[in-house]
Amino acid sequence: MKLTLDNDAITDDFFSDTRLIGIVAPIKNYQFCWQLNNLLGFNFRLDTEIDKQLRKKNRQYFFSVYQHEENNFLKYYLFHNHCDGEYLLPEFKHLDFLLLMKGDYVDDSGCSHIITTIKSIATVQMVAELTNEKIKNKEHLVF
């Protein structure tokens, strides 16, 4: 008997309680985290245990992930979308960062507040919520 993982089911389950925001901000990830921490009262920290690794063209690419835990249920993950010319989500090459809110439900007003606050950062050029249907490579964000 051969067992196979149902990646679609795993991905659907992972994204069942998430919201994802795409951000264009051509600055260093640690500078962006510092600004988010100051403006939103977050405590983003680099989490090397959940760094995303992709193997393309016989090479490993590492995408840093920062994590902030709001409470026991709600966690925020900030992904850097590019590494040496490769992209974590290639369908969104123009995005520099992906902010994933996972766990506890974030209502529309909470999400809107976060988007508005991020837009107030001088180096931010664009912020938009991404719907699950538009994300082709969701499995790249699953951990």
Residue 58 has pLDDT above 90, yes or no: no
Tokens of 108: 């529309």
Q: What is the pLDDT of residues 1-36, one digit of tens each?
A: 665 555 565 555 555 677 889 999 999 989 999 999
Domains of the chain (ranges, CATH numbers): 9-141 (3.30.310)
**Which residues 6+ apart lie within 8 Å of 142 measured at CB?**
10, 11, 14
pLDDT at residue number 90 = 85
The mean pLDDT of the chain is: 81
| pTM for this predicted structure | 0.82
Residue 116 has pLDDT above 80, yes or no: yes
Q: What is the pLDDT of residues 33-53, one digit of tens each?
A: 999 999 999 999 987 676 666
DSSP 17: G
